[in-house]
Structure 1
Amino acid sequence: MHSLTYLDLNQNNIRSEFPEFIFECQNLSFLDLSHNFFTGRIPEPVFAKLGKLEYLNLTYNLFQDPLPSHFPKLKHLHLAWNNFSGPIPESIGLLSDLQLIDLRNNFLEGKIPTTIGQLRELWSLDLRMNSLNSSIPSDLGHCTDLSILQLDFSDNVFTGPILPSVISNWSLVVQLNLQRNGFSGNIPPELGQLTNLNYLNLDFNDFGGELPSQIGNLNSLDTLYVSSNHLTGVIPLSIGNFTRTCFLDLSNNNLTGVIPRSIGNLTQIWYFNVSHNHLSGEIPSEFSNMDRLTIYNYDFSYNNLTGPIPTCGIFQNAPADAFVGNYGMWRHARGTAACNSSSGISKRNSDNSKGKNDINIVVIVIIFFLAFGVVATIIAFFIFLPPTYELAKAVVLVMSLALACTRAHPRSRPPMSFVALKLSTQAMPCLPEPFEIGLLRELEHLSFCNNNLNGMRSLTHLDLNQNATHSEFPEFIFECQNLTFLDLSRNQFTGQIPEPVFTKPGKLEYLNLTQNLFQGPLPSHFPKLKHLHLAGNNFGGPIPESLGLLSGLQRIDLRSNSLEGKIPTTIGQLRELQFLDLQMNSLNSSIPSELGHCTNLTH
């Protein structure tokens, strides 16, 4: 096939090494082997003979060892989700026509080669989910056509500051994602010059200093994540300029001062998190007008906020855990104060004095159980019980719970009945047996992120993301008929979604299965669902027409699957839909005119 110029073998379930016949296709300009099970190294003849190749896509295979980089006319290089290792070769900078580089989710290490700065046509660079460990080279500032830059997520260890000279040259950047690295220093004010930016993610780094006021110049910003850094100072008033912003997360920093009333201008926002800071004052009444926020999409917990919690608008039936850990607010988290009302202030004073008495009693009980745990352990180990690993785990769990109570904010400590009754009647008697947290039948909210766990029962809110879990869909979830929030993302769950999942958790509002290995048809029978995140799996077949019956859907993310066929016209019935992402599939229809009925779409 010497005359062949275009070869597309994607999604054919092929299991082999690199096909040898391709060596002879010397006129090939387009090659797509993605979404198969190809293995081994890229043979050397591929580099030497495919001199006319402009598009190479090997995404979602099992290729390994060094990156291929000797294609002089290459424009698009897609090598994501393989097992490539070693450094990014310096020779990649010699491919002067390169426009897109996607190397995410491999095992690359070392630094970003400075030669990438020679790629003046480059507009997309994705290096996330590797083990790269350098700073951003200043030469990258020469890539002035960059519009999407992603150096993000787990297993990268980029360090050092973001150089203002680099940032100021990226005037076309639309998406900048640096999360889960070790970047440090101040967030450069020059970020405010990137007026085309609609997505900025700086989560989980070591940035310090104040959030620059110039960030308010980003009028096109849809998403801002700066959580889990070391930011100080106040929330700038200019943040109220984000009139298009839907996601705002400033949590887990050291921010002080009041929550600015200008945030009330963010009428498009539907996720807001300022938890785990040192903010003070009252929650501005302007929040009650943000009708896109729902009760699971805001979090003010663990600050120094005071005053009554409004109960009108978005705060009707507000969950207590959205405000836990704030002085003077915990007693009102059950919804007793009216909007803009001071009726709860006098009651708060009496609650405070009563709370102090409760706290003293709790501390006494905690100390008692700590002492009892130590004595019981010694007696059990040396007199009555054989020393077992399970026994040790149970004792450590009980003592850890008690120690956590002593370190918690006074207003967020468990009530005395929890410490005195739950520990004594559930944990203590099971010391001789392996402890199972599934025995805690009254548990309603559980988050075990970043661990290696494999199943819990009887919950309304379950978050097991990033736990390296290898299994099929957990069967215990079938019985969680009151489940409203389920996050199994970033694991290695496999197989199809069982039929009982569709029929039993009928109250589910949030489902996130992103970045797993699920396959088969899409789940779509959750009548109350609002958020559907299924990106980065192997779901196949068409998008079901029944998706359009989920009238409350606000967000659909189906990117990076193996979906095919047309976009169902029933999606036009989703009048609450704000976000729809179908990229990186095999859909082959035109955009249905009914989609124009989704007037709330922002992405």
Structure 2
Amino acid sequence: MGSLHQLRYLDLSYSQFIGRIPPQMGNLSNLGYLNLATENDESYDYSFHHGTYSTDITWLSRLTSLEHLDMAEVNLSTIVHWLPVVNMLPTLKVLDLSSCQLRSSPDSLQLSNLTSLEALHLPYNEFHKPSTPNWFWDLTSLKHLDISLNGFYGSFPNEMVNMTSMVELSLLYNNLVGMIPAGMKNLCNLEALSLSGNNINGNIQEFFNQLPSCSQNKLQSLSASNCNLTRSLPTTPVESLSNISQLFLDKNKLTGHLPAVWLGELTNLAMLDLGSNNLDGVIHEGHLSRLEMLYLLDLSDNSIAITVSATWVPPFSLGEIYLRSCQLGPKFPVWLQWQTQVRSLDISNTSINDIVPDWFWITVSTAMVINIRNNEIKGVLPSTMEFMIALEMDFSSNQLGGSISKFPISLTDLDLSRNNIVGPLPSDFGAPGLRTLLLYDNMISGAIPSSLCKLRSLQLLDLSRNNLNGSITDCIVNVSSTYMTGLSIINLSFRNNNLSGEFPSLLQKCPQLIFLDLGHNQFSGTLPAWIGEKLLSLSFLRLRSNMFYGHIPVELTKLVHLQYLDLANNNISGSIPRSIIHWTAMQQARGTFVYLQHAISYGGARFGDNNPVDYTENLTVLTKGQERLYTGELIYMVNLDLSCNSLTGEIPEEINTLMELKNLNLSWNNFNGKIPENVGALMKVESLDLSHNDLSGEIRSSLSALTSLSHLNLSYNNLRGKIPTGNQLQTLEDPAYIYIGNPGLCGPPLSINCSTQPGPIPGEHHGDATGDLVSFFLAMSSGYVTGLWVVFCTFLFKRRWRVSWYSLCDSLYDRAYVQVAVTWASLRGKING
């Protein structure tokens, strides 16, 4: 390529080249246009092994005819003195070094050759220095300057006021503080100003007054989102905004009503974003009747009520409507039916309590994003839903009924949770690209169809709290099928249904599974060993309240990412494998929390703040003696619950290596032996329950060192000796209940004094007092029954013995009767005399 000496135009952008940019490019001395921009792929770490990079750009200095240079996202992180090289390009008009990992921005250029430079793009670098002095403020010929997201700090530079040629200026998301300079009024050519993400921290009206209003009010786009702007909007027209078409003032601290006069004068407005402020009051037809150009309207998360006549026909045709948490109800807003080109709609949490009208489904048939969640919308899903073009739909937390038909073929995310959906799941979902399917808290019945296997892109599936039944069949192997290479599921929840059968073999095809909840069903059988071999990504496993039996497979301890295991309320037997030392996620806090967060939190990434599918896993965890609801904080819960099973043997000492545990529940089993000696190593445990077992010996004094412990239950064991005191043990609630059912314990908080506790008899075994008592009564009972059967059997087979026995009884009876009668007669005679 370096031999193409006459080449004038070279565009290699987004060509997926990797590796070092060859310095032979410097031979193309006639180049006027060079574009080497690479594509940003977040999966790359952008070391020198991925993407394109250069460690020496001196070859650029030979391209003396260059007017346009674009090296966006080329890794230049090792180059310190990049500016002197660029300064040797006297004809350069456009320079784009976005996302190049540059770390140096000189204060000035002693002799600048960049007098022709009109456009400079330097966003997404790592300068981290004061906003002034900087070399680019001397380039007064600049028309387009973008220095966003560079870590510049300090006040807004006064040098900006000298940039009178400026057309577009972007300072987005730096750390600039204070009001913009008054001299900004001099930038009469300014058409676009982007200041979002800085801390202006001032009155909105003062901010408007600093904007340029000269030269026929050229300002068309103003972005000041998340700038800490305060006070109320102006009640009269602002001259500098008279030509504005894009106005973004969301995520500020604006208060008061939305002035009709001010808004009504912005007749060129195409995009208005006032979301996430503290605005209130009522919007009526007068606010909107002159905004014929309006395409985007965002008033989300304010206390605004939109009250317009049912017969009002809007003058605009909106493409994006975001009215989340505004007051639209209780009736369905009729004016929406005139919006026939909607691409994105969010009317969630708007107090609508009405039957969804038929026209609504026609209105949103062209929408790619639909969010009506958290209302009281009634009715049924449209039978024509499969013909919609939606990508994402959130209809959750309403009162929609009916059954589910085919989904739109383009659908990727659907949330129908917390409704009244009935009937079975569709035999054909109709959306092969579906990634999220949330149907929990409905009344869906029937079996889970095998067509689930066709959803190869599905990552999140929550069917919990329905009436599903039957067993989960494995994917049908079909030679002609292309979907058997594996599923992409990361989060799978079937809890609180009536599902039965063995542990689903379907899950063998889910190697990326991180979160699995099959709790509160009727699954049975043994836990297969392949869980620990095929589901190596598993971090959360909840199987409580089923009918599983058999041992805990030792292969389960291969799950090094496992931080939450709940097998409670089953019939698991055997002992705890000593190989639990391989559960490293329960031993050391590393990146495991982030690992689980990827599975339980979903949404907000692809479509910004208005992404309708916003999901966070929530479930109750039995800890500290009660059920507690966990949502996003579930990622920090490190839990091991094996309670209410038939586990036996000693509690292995290896359990003390699980130092990240916050909840450990081994209650209601048949564990024997002593409490593990180093139980004090579980420094982060907050709830420890070893009750209702056959544990013996003394309570370990190291329990008092558990500074995080807030709940302890050792009741109904065979523990003995003095109860340890001090530190955390003195702060626990209901201390007497902790030790109840252990007759061998003494000392506070029990009333039994250790000095009066009877000591052991020399030479006598004193292992289990309760066990000895039980043995005594068993022996006595068996002896009684044995003796009784000996007498009974003798009388049954020896007739002569029976006759002799009953004769003896008769004679004894006669003697006793005569004796009593004579004595009674004698006594009566004495009384009468």
Q: CA deviation at 1:49?
A: 7.6
Q: CA deviation at 1:266?
A: 1.1
Separation of aligned partners in 1, 2:565 and 2:197: 33
Structure 1 residue 267 and structure 2 residue 329: aligned?
no
Measured against aligned partners, the alpha-carbon deviations of 1:437-460 in whole angstroms (never above 9, x if no partner) come to: 9xxxxxxxxxxxxxx84457899x
Q: How does 1:198-209 map to 2 (within 5 A)?
A: 198-209=270-281
Separation of aligned partners in 2, 1:87 and 1:237: 50
Partners of 1:2 and 1:24 within 8 A in 2? no
Q: CA deviation at 1:250?
A: 0.8
Q: Identify which of 282, 300, 303 aligns with 1:227.
A: 300
Partners of 1:74 and 1:95 within 8 A in 2? yes
Structure 1 pair 310–316 and aligned structure 2 pair: CA distance change class (3 A): farther
Larger radius of gyration: 2
Query: What one-letter code is carried by the residue in structure 2 that aligns with 1:435?
Result: Y
Measured against aligned partners, the alpha-carbon deviations of 1:155-181 in whole angstroms (never above 9, x if no partner) come to: 643333332446464232222222233
Structure 1 residue 37 and structure 2 residue 101: aligned?
yes
Deviates more, 1:129-138 or 1:233-242: 233-242
Q: Which runs of 5+ in 2 are unaligned?
A: 1-60, 406-418, 423-440, 442-463, 466-492, 500-516, 522-540, 546-561, 567-592, 609-833
Separation of aligned partners in 1, 2:172 and 2:312: 32
Partners of 1:253 and 1:276 within 8 A in 2? yes
The aligned residue for residue 174 of structure 2 is: 106
Query: What one-letter code is carried by the residue in structure 1 that aligns with 2:104?
Result: G
Q: Which runs of 5+ in 1 are unaligned?
A: 336-347, 352-361, 363-400, 403-413, 438-451, 469-603
Partners of 1:235 and 1:259 within 8 A in 2? no
Partners of 1:319 and 1:333 within 8 A in 2? no
Q: CA deviation at 1:149?
A: 1.3
Separation of aligned partners in 2, 1:2 and 1:321: 55
Q: Identify which of 356, 366, 373 aligns with 1:301.
A: 373
Structure 1 pair 467–266 and aligned structure 2 pair: CA distance change class (3 A): closer
Partners of 1:63 and 1:83 within 8 A in 2? yes
Q: CA deviation at 1:208?
A: 1.6
Separation of aligned partners in 1, 2:360 and 2:607: 35
Structure 1 residue 14 and structure 2 residue 76: aligned?
yes
Separation of aligned partners in 2, 1:204 and 1:182: 8
Separation of aligned partners in 2, 1:28 and 1:135: 43
Query: What one-letter code is carried by the residue in structure 2 that aligns with 1:172?
Result: N
Separation of aligned partners in 2, 1:24 and 1:261: 61
The aligned residue for residue 412 of structure 2 is: none
Structure 1 pair 427–231 and aligned structure 2 pair: CA distance change class (3 A): farther
Structure 1 residue 80 and structure 2 residue 156: aligned?
no
Partners of 1:228 and 1:252 within 8 A in 2? yes
Separation of aligned partners in 2, 1:313 and 1:467: 25
The aligned residue for residue 95 of structure 1 is: 163
Measured against aligned partners, the alpha-carbon deviations of 1:501-547 in whole angstroms (never above 9, x if no partner) come to: xxxxxxxxxxxxxxxxxxxxxxxxxxxxxxxxxxxxxxxxxxxxxxx
Partners of 1:243 and 1:268 within 8 A in 2? no
The aligned residue for residue 134 of structure 1 is: 202
Structure 1 pair 131–28 and aligned structure 2 pair: CA distance change class (3 A): farther
Structure 1 pair 315–31 and aligned structure 2 pair: CA distance change class (3 A): closer
Partners of 1:26 and 1:51 within 8 A in 2? no
Structure 1 pair 173–422 and aligned structure 2 pair: CA distance change class (3 A): same
Structure 1 pair 304–284 and aligned structure 2 pair: CA distance change class (3 A): same
Measured against aligned partners, the alpha-carbon deviations of 1:208-265 in whole angstroms (never above 9, x if no partner) come to: 2223432243222222222122213536669852653221121123443422323111
Structure 1 pair 315–80 and aligned structure 2 pair: CA distance change class (3 A): same
Query: What one-letter code is carried by the residue in structure 2 that aligns with 1:234?
Result: T
Separation of aligned partners in 2, 1:111 and 1:193: 25
Partners of 1:188 and 1:212 within 8 A in 2? no
Structure 1 residue 434 and structure 2 residue 563: aligned?
yes
Separation of aligned partners in 1, 2:96 and 2:393: 48
Separation of aligned partners in 1, 2:604 and 2:324: 20
Percent identity (aligned): 19
Separation of aligned partners in 2, 1:149 and 1:24: 32
Separation of aligned partners in 2, 1:6 and 1:113: 35
Measured against aligned partners, the alpha-carbon deviations of 1:183-204 in whole angstroms (never above 9, x if no partner) come to: 3222232223323222222222
Separation of aligned partners in 2, 1:161 and 1:238: 31
Partners of 1:146 and 1:173 within 8 A in 2? yes
Partners of 1:453 and 1:467 within 8 A in 2? no
Structure 1 pair 303–465 and aligned structure 2 pair: CA distance change class (3 A): same
Structure 1 residue 193 and structure 2 residue 265: aligned?
yes
Partners of 2:155 and 2:178 within 8 A in 1? yes
Partners of 1:75 and 1:99 within 8 A in 2? yes
Separation of aligned partners in 2, 1:83 and 1:100: 20
Q: TM-score, normalised by structure 2?
A: 0.38
- Let me know the Cα RMSD of the aligned residues: 4.8
The aligned residue for residue 463 of structure 1 is: 603
Structure 1 pair 212–2 and aligned structure 2 pair: CA distance change class (3 A): farther
Q: Identify which of 208, 211, 222 aligns with 2:283.
A: 211
Q: TM-score, normalised by structure 1?
A: 0.51
Partners of 1:260 and 1:284 within 8 A in 2? no
SS in 1 for 2:288: helix
Measured against aligned partners, the alpha-carbon deviations of 1:468-522 in whole angstroms (never above 9, x if no partner) come to: 9xxxxxxxxxxxxxxxxxxxxxxxxxxxxxxxxxxxxxxxxxxxxxxxxxxxxxx
Structure 1 pair 201–162 and aligned structure 2 pair: CA distance change class (3 A): same
Query: What number of residue pairs does the alignment pair up?
Result: 375
Partners of 2:68 and 2:92 within 8 A in 1? no
Structure 1 pair 255–288 and aligned structure 2 pair: CA distance change class (3 A): closer
Structure 1 pair 262–323 and aligned structure 2 pair: CA distance change class (3 A): same
The aligned residue for residue 184 of structure 1 is: 255
Structure 1 residue 256 and structure 2 residue 329: aligned?
yes
Structure 1 pair 277–434 and aligned structure 2 pair: CA distance change class (3 A): same
The aligned residue for residue 382 of structure 2 is: 311
Structure 1 pair 321–13 and aligned structure 2 pair: CA distance change class (3 A): closer
Structure 1 residue 276 and structure 2 residue 349: aligned?
yes
Deviates more, 1:415-424 or 1:42-51: 415-424
SS in 2 for 1:281: coil
Q: CA deviation at 1:85?
A: 1.8
The aligned residue for residue 234 of structure 2 is: 163
Separation of aligned partners in 1, 2:403 and 2:180: 49
Measured against aligned partners, the alpha-carbon deviations of 1:534-579 in whole angstroms (never above 9, x if no partner) come to: xxxxxxxxxxxxxxxxxxxxxxxxxxxxxxxxxxxxxxxxxxxxxx
Deviates more, 1:156-165 or 1:40-49: 40-49
The aligned residue for residue 122 of structure 2 is: 58
Q: Specify which structure has the higher proportion of helix.
A: 1
SS in 2 for 1:287: helix
Separation of aligned partners in 1, 2:198 and 2:110: 25
Partners of 1:116 and 1:139 within 8 A in 2? no
The aligned residue for residue 385 of structure 1 is: none
Partners of 2:192 and 2:222 within 8 A in 1? yes
Query: What one-letter code is carried by the residue in structure 2 that aligns with 1:202?
Result: L
